[in-house]
């Protein structure tokens, strides 16, 4: 399993195209097991967390 780390990057158009789309591509097309670890601000944390989770595909099972 590999991790894709982001720091202080709120969900936005750039986040969607450069993070969510890349993770989706790697997981679905190349059968990679990539997980997102996003360090985001506590300001509007729950709102931003929901946006990020909505953009990403379902997580691959742990241990694969």
Residue 37 domain boundaries:
2-41
* pLDDT tens track for 6-42: 998 888 888 888 888 899 888 888 888 889 999 999 9
Domain count, the chain: 1
Q: What is the pTM of this model?
A: 0.74
CA pair distance 64, 31, nearest whole angstrom: 10
Query: What is the spatial distance between Cα 61 and Cα 64, in angstroms, rounded to a whole number?
Result: 6
In a domain, 29, yes or no: yes
Q: Is the pLDDT of residue 63 over 80?
A: no
Q: Look at the block and give the residue holding tokens 């601000």.
A: 41
**What pLDDT was estimated at residue 61?**
59
Q: Is residue 13 part of a domain?
A: yes
Q: What angle do CA 5, 62, 35 make, to 5 degrees?
A: 15
């Amino acid at each position: 399993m590999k991790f894709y780390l982001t720091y202080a990057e709120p969900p936005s158009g750039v986040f969607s195209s450069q993070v969510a789309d890349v993770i989706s591509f790697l997981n679905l097309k190349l059968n990679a097991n990539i997980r997102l670890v996003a360090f985001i601000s506590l300001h509007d944390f729950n709102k931003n967390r929901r946006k990020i989770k909505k953009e990403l595909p379902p997580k691959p099972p742990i241990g694969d």
